Structure 1
Amino acid sequence: MSKHLCIPTFVICVFAVSVPAQEVALDSFSGIGARAMGMGGAYISVSDDFSGLFWNPAGLARIERGTVNWGVSHDRFRNISQFFDRSSTLELRSTRIASLGFVYPVPVYRGSLVFAGGFGRNQNFDGGLQIDAYDTIANFDKAGFSEDKGALGAWTFGAAIDLMPRLSAGISLFRWGGTNRFLQELTLEDVQRVHADTIRIFQRFESEERYSAWGIQGGIRYWHPTGFQFGIVATAATPLRVSAELADEFEDEFEDRTDTYPRESFSDAYEIRQPLTFGMGIGWSSGGLTVSGDVHYGDLQEITYEILPLNIAPNVDDFRRQYRSAARLHLGCEYVISHWGIAFRGGYYRDPVRYVGGGSVPEIQIETDRDAWTLGFGTELEKAVTLDFAAVIGGYKAIEGNRADRVRAVRVLASARFYFFTGL
């Protein structure tokens, strides 16, 4: 085998211990709605604003005033990676439109009929790592980084109706879409002159992936005069279509020459069959206080590639082995001081990391599972505008091979609801 074929393969194998080969769109919950996330995402039994299209469309039936909704999010990601005897930090920041939509209650004599539509982002792909240390296994000084930047959202339209005085049902249709840009650079340098003639190896790889799928969600919500409330949702989606544009380049420096391999670009596409997901929430409201709890479950081990990529190896060899099944849990509360027109919120959620590797890639040991604490605040101005704010602070710790990651993520959300009145 010629030299220029060996070196790139070696580079990729060495960096495999630093970059998990996973499908980022399958395990990237970030939530939607400042009020909902202020309550820790425990919103299935509430869902009485625009974000209910994503949490439980049946909750829309509670809305009595029409609204136009707007939201923005700011995300900060930090990963402190300990690789051999050194630690390095990667930080990412992004600000995005989180939601834009409307809610329209149809004037009816009895019961409720509500339509809603718009756009919302509820998955954030931002993440990565940075390393700068001497690899005693490969005998190279190793410096580089990898990062993902992107998000997934949906255009959606839904409706809710009262089936009985205390029971409502709703449905949402989604057109999912999003992008993720992955960039990886790695430099290996033989600072101790261990290798025969190789002085330095450089690799750069980048890809831009575009996602698209259709989805549907149905839900019911029940409430009792004692304040008890209950909700169930089920979500299904067509296979997630992924279109990828990829490029790589290499440079190898030897004692007597430098070989530069030209940039190579190529395209690919594949489809991922997604599992059914289910959610259940219970809550209780009395005297301005609302307490709620949710559980969401979708078995990622059921995922398969509907259509395989043609030009690249699949990111995941075995979903059943490299992903674990886990439920996402949410707890939250809200206290409304009605005569002041303000509300205080708090919550917690636990969202276990699903990808654990194994097989042809290193296994990942989860030391501290992914979770987050949330705080929120809302105020109504002149009964015409409601402003909501939330902060989500979370993270996790994991070990992969000779690298330990300590991830911290902070998300700040702000939203506004502008009311318009409908009536008979």
Structure 2
Amino acid sequence: MTCIPQKLKILFVFLFIIPISIRAQFFNEAMSGEALRPFRDVYGISSSTFSLHNNSLLSRDISSTLENPAFLVNIRRPKACVSMQYLNVDQRSALVGNQQEFATSSNTVRADYFGFAYPVPVYRGNMVFALSYTPSAYYYSNLESKGTVTYDFGDVYQEVKIEETGSLNTLRIAGAIEFLPNFNTGVSLNFHGGDRSYQSVETAIDENDVLINDEIINREIIKPNYSGFNMDVGLSYHSSNFKFGLKISTPLNLTIQEVSEFSEKFTYDVDPDSTQNDYYDFEYESRYPMEIAPSFAVKFGQLTVGLDLIIHNWQKIEVDRLEDKSAINRDLYWNLRKTTDIGVFLAMPIGNAVSTRLAYRRIPSPYENIQNDDDKYYHLIGAGIETILKKSFILGCAYQRAVGDQTISHPYFDTWSSQKYTEDRLTASMAVLF
């Protein structure tokens, strides 16, 4: 009998104080990853997406692995393009405090790009209009962790399973013109839309009888729907052996309609099971700051060497305060910083009908203070090949791999997990010149 009051105290802390503090963290914590998630993709989002399959080299574009509307001027014949992509994500994860890793994998096949470009006859120079539809960011991941977690009151066996799916898709209406010899400018109007599903389950099992309940199951389901708009403005200068480009992306404003469900199920030693459910359906605004991306390319004989920079200021992210929707919270993400993605690539033609390209990009973490030095950078590497048949059909194939480590907060579960991340993409593209 003497141990019952102590167990009741532990139960009160475990069932009431912890869940309340966790919910407060989820909505108000400065490091809440939910509002940051739409803008955080290893391959970049929108026009900064790491790409090797846009038929650019065979259109005399030697410049970049990211999109710049000014580069459309290189297209001299009407062109339609479509591509398919196989995406595979492998993750090895472990709960903090438990060294045992568990592997998970997810994969999907989907259409990756539809586009059409039309050069408009003009008296002097070139003018091109284009329309395209493409995923700007993919959200596919799985995470599984198991192990014993030590609390002040004793050890509890814990399992965490997370599954995430979805994408942010973009319709682009773009145009470019050569306004002076060798000087081009272009504008792209980007209409974004998409959705994401994030489902996670935590199971805590009282193996050592430190609590008066046998099992606690926490479940969260978050389903945001995204819609938004921004613009890309591009400039470029090119000669026969040199090309410079500058792309400025205006802030991306997203309206987010989020439906979420949080539940807790308690299984007791003697008493009947009990369940607590909370539902939310609300709308808020999120704003990704302006992005600046210069690019350079130089030809040495047949070899082209290029450099891309993508400059982010993550500190300028703005999100509605959920408790006060009339005010924009500029201080929510105090731990974010300014970063610069650095990309390099080599391109080499083989004869007059085949072009090859190798590329690498290093992506710093947006967080200023991180728990693990291995989380500082993600690395992307890719290779692509394109060929033209009968001067009218362009076929391309590209392989890309992303690798990196990350430490992930699970605020609703009041825990962290470490993760080793590998993502492979295989893309096949076809374009027809009219």
Question: Hey, what's the Cα distance between the residues in 1 that align with 2:16 and 2:114?
Answer: 45
Q: How far is 1:147 from its partner?
A: 2.7
Aligned-residue CA RMSD (Å):
3.4
Secondary structure, counterpart of 1:191 in structure 2: coil
Alignment of 1:131-142 (within 5 A): 131-137=145-151, 139-142=155-158
Would you say 1:243 and 2:257 are equivalent positions? Answer: yes
Deviation at 1:92?
1.7
Question: How many pairs are equivalent?
Answer: 402
What code does the residue aligned with 1:382 have? K
Q: Which residue of 2 aligns with 1:114?
A: 128
Q: Which of 292, 306, 310 does residue 296 from structure 1 map onto?
A: 310
- 2:32 is aligned to 21
1:415–1:153: structure 2 CA closer, same or farther, 3 Å change rule? same
Give the % identical residues. Answer: 20
5+ long unaligned stretches in structure 1: none
> C-alpha displacement at 1:85, in angstroms?
3.3
Counterpart of 2:431 (choices 414, 417, 421) is 417
- State whether residues 203 and 215 of structure 2, in contact with CA within 8 Å, keep that contact through their aligned partners in structure 1: yes
Change beyond 3 A, Cα 1:47–1:287: closer
Partner of 2:161 in structure 1? 145
- Displacement of 1:27 in angstroms is 1.5
Q: Spell out the pairing of 1:19-418 with structure 2 (5 A cutoff).
A: 21-22=32-33, 23-30=36-43, 37-38=51-52, 48=61, 55-83=67-95, 84-137=98-151, 139-195=155-211, 197-225=212-240, 227-261=241-275, 263-285=277-299, 287-305=301-319, 307-310=320-323, 318-339=331-352, 341-355=353-367, 364-368=371-375, 369-399=377-407, 403-418=417-432
Pairwise CA distance, 1:377: 1.3
Change (3 A) 1:93 1:310: farther
Q: Structure 1 residue 98: deviation in Å?
A: 1.4
Letter in 2 for 1:231: G
- Give the deviation of 1:296 after TM superposition: 0.6
In 2 relative to 1, CA 128–319 (structure 1 residues): closer, same or farther, beyond 3 Å?
A: farther
Query: Which blocks of at least 5 consecutive residues in structure 2 are unaligned?
Result: 1-7, 409-414
Cα pair 1:379 1:386 within 8 Å, conserved: yes
TM-score by length of 2: 0.83
Contact 2:189 2:232 in 1 (8 A): yes
Aligned to 2:411: none
Quote the Cα distance in structure 2 between the aligned partners of 1:47 and 1:298: 29
- d(CA) in 1 for partners of 2:146, 2:230: 42
1:10 aligns with 2:18: yes
Name the SS for the 2:171 alignment partner.
strand
| 1:188-221 superposed Cα distances (whole Å, 9 cap, x missing partner) | 00112222x0210011110111111111111111
Give the partner amino acid of 2:224: E
Aligned 8 A contact 1:77 1:409 in 2: yes
The AA in structure 1 aligned to 2:405 is: K
Amino acid at match of 2:105: E
> Aligned equivalents of 1:14 and 1:78: distance in 2?
29
Q: Deviations over 1:328-353 (max 9, x none)?
A: 111112211234x2222111001122
CA contact (8 A) 2:191 2:229 kept: yes
**1:267, distance to aligned residue in structure 2 (A):** 0.3
CA 106–157 in structure 1, closer or farther in 2 if over 3 Å, else same: same
Distance in 2 (alpha carbons) for counterparts of 1:112 and 1:92 = 44
What's the offset of the Cα at 1:162? 0.5
CA distance in 2: counterparts of 1:409 and 1:147, whole angstroms? 15
- 1:176 Cα offset (Å): 0.9
TM-score w.r.t. length of structure 1: 0.85
Q: State the structure with bigger RCO (CA 8 A, min sep 6), 1 or 2.
A: 1
